[in-house]
Structure 1
Amino acid sequence: MTEIVDPVALEHSDSAPLDEEAVSHPLSGDAPVAPEAPTFADLQVDPRIVQALTEAGIERTFAIQALTLPIALTGSDLIGQARTGMGKTLGFGVPLLHRLSWDAAALDENGKLAAGRAPRALVMVPTRELCVQVTRDLQGAAKYLGLSVTAVYGGRAYEPQIAALHAGADVVIGTPGRLLDLANGGHLQLGGIKVLVLDEADEMLDLGFLPDIEKVLSMVPDKKQTMLFSATMPGPILTLARSFMSQPTHIRAEVASEGQTHLTTTQFVYRAHALDKIEMLARLLQARGRGLTMVFTRTKRTAQKVSDELVERGFAAAAVHGDLGQGAREQALRAFRAGKVDVLVATDVAARGIDVEDVTHVVNYQCPEEDKTYVHRIGRTGRAGKTGVAVSFIDWDDIPRWKLINDSLGLGFPDPVETYSNSPHFFAELDIPEGITGRLPKSQRTREGLGAEVVEDLGETGGRRRKAATGPARAGGTGSRTGGRGEVRRTPETPAASDTVADQTGDAPATPRRKRSRRRTRGGDAGATTAAPAPAAE
């Protein structure tokens, strides 16, 4: 029997772990999962949603979905907690769409959805990539409902998003900053919201979105259904729940408990030298049975450097990080999902929300900052009951940080083995064929590479218009980089460069230079020059 816990009645702490005995249930990660999970049809979901999910190959529910749907379909507030990759999106998406499909408030006199209708459901997510993923999942589930699902997020032009909102949107999915901008501009009407969802609330807290969230929450009606989903429940999140949720039910399913992360993922930890990491990675990528692989770094610069180095070594790699424009980021993700590249190098923030099936390996190229980041990283593999491999390269300088992560999660790797690219145990443990070098043989370079994926013109926003490099993109590389530092901003008042000499910032034209005359001096240096005398004052 599943016990119901009201989180606002619990004392919270920074880590906010819930009492294990109070929240354990037959479908949690602490107990064997039932052999036959219920189907969406068994839970009385709208048949049109069931049909769309069945066509997508989704029939039976995951634990978090089986537990949340019976409560969410009744319109009650709830908090859903489950680890990454366990189906939280459909856990709130299916009941949200089910409720809207039977809501007659948005219908005109002919029984059809009215044009220009205000949104009735709002989903807030922390990152652009997660916004795209959730929108894609909900659009697929709403295939036969006729509902409009619209995404709004930064890095893209405002005009298409404003036009979509004015045409009428039933569900709006967006990042806090862009949602607030559109609401303040009068383009996003939040007075008709009946269902509000906060997805990955812990990540929004980490990214500093809490003030924006509170401002958006002040614009929605008090009477509504609210669902909050997250992998962890820090204290500030529970405090936020007190302020805008009404007697929520806290459901916790398949959460990694202390001393245990992902049972379906085999983990390896090596103490590696910084100068040897790229060679180790290149050899690891040639292991037997390796499929799609995600490589995580702490910095944007390292992500780009590793991606470029792998491309030079013959691998089909792409990077996703904050220094890339939104078009380049989405190009890399599309290429990764389509299999045109099989190695995606990403920073932690950019990687949140990347949901790609059949990721077999995750590599921590740089040690994560904390235990929660480690869990999120390796959660990209071993999803939905499949197995995966997680490999961590730990620098000598990062050993103290790693020991804290290891002790917190009880991983059993307090002192990683010193390992190099030619270490026998490295080859044996990861099933790397003998004789492999750090370059992919030409006979195995069968993927199309990033250059085969077209970059969309998203009308990207920013402080200045970015021009793409005119040179051809490298084969399989990241293509042209935008926003180089050498660009000169132009204003309508700035003449062409051929007429005047602009200063380094390009904000204003400089005074035209005088032409200098050159003459030889008698008996002096043949190369000496003197400036022409200044014209006499009139």
Structure 2
Amino acid sequence: MEENWDSDGEGWDTVQAPVAASHNVGVSGSSTNRGRTRGGYTRGQGQHYNTTWRARGGHHSESRNRGNFRYDNTNRKVITISSNKVGRVIGKGGSKIRDLEYETDAKVKIGDSSGYSTEITLFGTNDAISKVESLINELVEERKPPTPKENPNNHKNAVSTATNEVSIDRNEYMMLNENGVEVIDWDKLNAACDKAQKEKWERLPKVNKNFYREDPTVSNMTPAEVSRWRLANNDIKVNRTFEEKEGLPPIPNPVITFEQAFQDYPEILKEIYKQGFKQPSPIQSQAWPILLRGDDMIGIAQTGTGKTLAFLLPALIHIDGQPTPREEREGPTVLILAPTRELALQIHKEVIKYEYRGIKSVCLYGGGDRREQIDTVAKGVDIVIATPGRLNDLTKAEHLNAINFSYIVLDEADRMLDMGFEPQIKKSLFDVRPDRQTVMTSATWPSGVRRLAQTYMKDPIQVNVGSLDLAAVHTVTQKIMFVEEDDKEHTLYEFIENMNKDEKVIIFCGKKATARHISTDLAVKGIECQALHGDRDQIDREAALEDMLEGTVNILVATDVASRGIDIKDLTHVINFDFPRQIEEYVHRVGRTGRAGKTGIALSFITRSDWAHASELIKILQEANQDVPDELQKMADRFSAMKLRKDRDGGEKRGRGGWNRRGAYY
């Protein structure tokens, strides 16, 4: 059994897949109990639900039941391959072995290794065993270098059009260094690769990006009117992110109505009217003209401001407006990358609300049925919403061709960088055409996001809704409660006992173990709740959100996996049981309530160990015109004094305050 880092970065998922080891390597096909959990108890226990074997497209339905694939383990064959080729059969994270099993209806188990050779046991019908053995033999056979072919331009290099690989004449790219040793001439080789890459892009069909016709009312807005409108709408600031260049068109004026943005797209307007919206949000008013015109854009706005719809509707128009018919394209047109599976699913729910000319989408995320996702992609989709890990998995396994993505969205870019997804983002965008349109959204503007924009965007326009300084939504009342660590649970349960029936709360914990403990303890006390964290199976995570949305339960115990992308419109309270490690996460936690014009309350438990965050928290409270407790200011002063002492003395002394019986900080 292999443990892979979950694609949303929050925890470890257990995957039924083989792992290459020096001796024993096996594939587990055991089924697991998966039910919907309420407060630590499992509903539907005893029902077997296996993530590896799923119902497949109707064939062999008599022997395949969804969640439990049955095979004849008495009919088997043992073959032997070289140990240094076992990786070819297994594939990254077990992807190749899963594909072999799916394609042949056989079962493959990697067995003992004698050092130089490894046994592989094949289970299934005679026909299935024969098929899988043939495929394995193809995988492990010696790979001969491709025969050089003379291209029409008499170059000695043979370039693969399907990949970026270049077969080269070795002698052409070697040189003698100052010591007379033959080495690679990297300058010449890199130049050849750049030329091959450029030729590859030139063979792709052209991309249409401009679909905007400015309404006369918008065109006639004076600069003073535009400035007044932006100031009145959360002090929007719009500018070129980097240096101004000659020849770039001026930044478009904002639209005030839906009709001004989509006058040429009545089907889009019809879908907007169906949702009951009255007018665009500030970010939408300014983003739609920019994106419909084909510019790259960075949207900096707090959560719950309508960023998803801001980039989604132009994406639909972009898909339909390309010169190559959709059925003739080699892959999807739009890619939306999100940091967590919850946010990816939330975006997917928004996408499917808008029916426009048969456009199809798929949501790719770790923990979901990989084969089902592959089948959906194979049938043809226009929009891919994905977490970075699963996207790279399917791209590397050649189930998804990223070359034709011409509209890219990096949603919650700051969160993706915080979670360490920058390498996966680079891999995802490496093979995407350079003339794409790129959109980036973020709640903050740290240096990492700026670096990402410089690397992957072309002359972007930046739209800031509100201040660039970190700020919490102003519709939330932020309250601070000073407690000792050992008293937090008692204080939490006291709050829950006094909750009204119509109130809903998310309780944020710093660790998965804490979330498990609290949800189980609440269940023992007879209080119904749900839990959302990385140790839960995907089906249970989705069930937890569904129960909160439906009102079946009104308490959700969660880690920061729920701090973004969770939209529970009637959420009344957020409780920070553990203060987050980064102040940015505090802002996003608070933003789960007070959404869509409603008000909410955020209650944070502060212990003496949280004193390092006091100064930053004070800034957040002051910006939102919230009360700043004297005790919090004292914590900030003591921490600042400690740092000065430490810097002056070069020592490691640490001083921490506490609260006396009267609740005063000392």
Give yes or no for TM over 0.5: yes
- The Cα offsets for residues 378-431 of structure 1, whole Å up to 9 and x where unpaired, read as 0011112211111011123223333443246646235259999x999xxxxxxx
Alignment-mate amino acid for residue 118 of structure 1: G
Match in the other structure for 2:598: 386
Paired with 2:538 and 2:337, the residues of 1 have a C-alpha distance of 19
Contact residue 123 and residue 198 of structure 1 kept, 8 A: yes
Match in the other structure for 2:288: 69
1:8 partner SS? coil
- 1:363–1:215 distance in 2 versus 1, CA, 3 Å: same
Contact residue 231 and residue 255 of structure 1 kept, 8 A: no
2:473 is aligned with 1:262? yes
Q: What does 1:183-332 correspond to in 2, within 5 Å? A: 183-255=395-467, 257=469, 261-285=472-496, 286-288=498-500, 291-332=503-544
Paired with 1:299 and 1:419, the residues of 2 have a C-alpha distance of 25
Q: How many residues align?
A: 393
Paired with 1:213 and 1:171, the residues of 2 have a C-alpha distance of 17
- 1:407–1:4 distance in 2 versus 1, CA, 3 Å: closer
Q: What does 1:143-182 correspond to in 2, within 5 Å? A: 143-182=355-394
2:359 is aligned with 1:135? no
Aligned partner of 2:309 among 62, 87, 90: 90
Paired with 2:363 and 2:629, the residues of 1 have a C-alpha distance of 42
Paired with 2:510 and 2:444, the residues of 1 have a C-alpha distance of 21
1:184 Cα deviation after fit: 1.1
1:60 Cα deviation after fit: 1.9
Match in the other structure for 1:7: 241
2:331 is aligned with 1:118? yes
Paired with 1:106 and 1:282, the residues of 2 have a C-alpha distance of 59
- 1:147–1:255 distance in 2 versus 1, CA, 3 Å: farther
Query: Which is bigger in relative contact order (C-alpha 8 A, separation at least 6)?
Result: 1
Contact residue 330 and residue 404 of structure 2 kept, 8 A: no
Contact residue 307 and residue 441 of structure 2 kept, 8 A: yes
Alignment-mate amino acid for residue 159 of structure 1: R
Match in the other structure for 2:299: 80
Match in the other structure for 1:441: none
Alignment-mate amino acid for residue 383 of structure 1: R
Match in the other structure for 1:55: 274
Alignment-mate amino acid for residue 42 of structure 1: Q
2:608 is aligned with 1:415? no
Paired with 1:395 and 1:145, the residues of 2 have a C-alpha distance of 55
1:338 Cα deviation after fit: 1.1
- 1:419–1:282 distance in 2 versus 1, CA, 3 Å: farther
1:186 Cα deviation after fit: 1.0
- 1:218–1:117 distance in 2 versus 1, CA, 3 Å: closer
1:278 partner SS? helix
1:191 Cα deviation after fit: 1.6
1:282 partner SS? helix
2:259 partner SS? coil
Paired with 2:526 and 2:598, the residues of 1 have a C-alpha distance of 28
Paired with 1:414 and 1:194, the residues of 2 have a C-alpha distance of 53
Contact residue 119 and residue 172 of structure 1 kept, 8 A: yes
Paired with 1:115 and 1:38, the residues of 2 have a C-alpha distance of 37
Structure 1 unaligned blocks of 5 or more:
11-22, 28-36, 108-113, 425-538
Contact residue 311 and residue 317 of structure 1 kept, 8 A: yes
Q: What does 1:318-397 correspond to in 2, within 5 Å? A: 318-397=530-609
Paired with 1:139 and 1:84, the residues of 2 have a C-alpha distance of 21
2:547 partner SS? helix
Q: TM-score, length-normalised on structure 1?
A: 0.68
Paired with 2:258 and 2:301, the residues of 1 have a C-alpha distance of 19
Match in the other structure for 2:175: none
Match in the other structure for 1:506: none
1:341 Cα deviation after fit: 1.2
Contact residue 403 and residue 414 of structure 1 kept, 8 A: no
Paired with 2:325 and 2:253, the residues of 1 have a C-alpha distance of 40
Alignment-mate amino acid for residue 332 of structure 2: P
2:381 partner SS? coil
Contact residue 64 and residue 254 of structure 1 kept, 8 A: no
Over aligned residues, Cα RMSD in angstroms?
2.8
Q: Which has the larger displacement, 392-401 or 362-371?
A: 392-401
Alignment-mate amino acid for residue 67 of structure 1: Q
Alignment-mate amino acid for residue 427 of structure 2: K
2:238 partner SS? coil
2:579 partner SS? coil
1:350 Cα deviation after fit: 4.1
Contact residue 271 and residue 395 of structure 1 kept, 8 A: yes
Contact residue 83 and residue 256 of structure 1 kept, 8 A: no
- 1:315–1:419 distance in 2 versus 1, CA, 3 Å: farther
- The Cα offsets for residues 299-355 of structure 1, whole Å up to 9 and x where unpaired, read as 001111111222233332111001111111111111111111111111113432112
Contact residue 406 and residue 414 of structure 1 kept, 8 A: no
1:219 Cα deviation after fit: 1.1
Match in the other structure for 1:492: none
- The Cα offsets for residues 23-74 of structure 1, whole Å up to 9 and x where unpaired, read as 9x999xxxxxxxxx93423321632233223223334211111110111111
Paired with 1:288 and 1:194, the residues of 2 have a C-alpha distance of 49
Aligned partner of 1:101 among 297, 300, 320: 320
1:262 Cα deviation after fit: 2.2
Contact residue 135 and residue 151 of structure 1 kept, 8 A: yes
Contact residue 85 and residue 383 of structure 1 kept, 8 A: yes
Higher helix share: 2
Paired with 1:180 and 1:384, the residues of 2 have a C-alpha distance of 35
Q: TM-score, length-normalised on structure 2?
A: 0.55
- The Cα offsets for residues 451-481 of structure 1, whole Å up to 9 and x where unpaired, read as xxxxxxxxxxxxxxxxxxxxxxxxxxxxxxx
Alignment-mate amino acid for residue 203 of structure 1: R
Contact residue 563 and residue 585 of structure 2 kept, 8 A: no
Paired with 2:552 and 2:328, the residues of 1 have a C-alpha distance of 39
- 1:288–1:397 distance in 2 versus 1, CA, 3 Å: same
1:176 Cα deviation after fit: 0.7
Contact residue 291 and residue 342 of structure 1 kept, 8 A: yes
Contact residue 346 and residue 566 of structure 2 kept, 8 A: yes
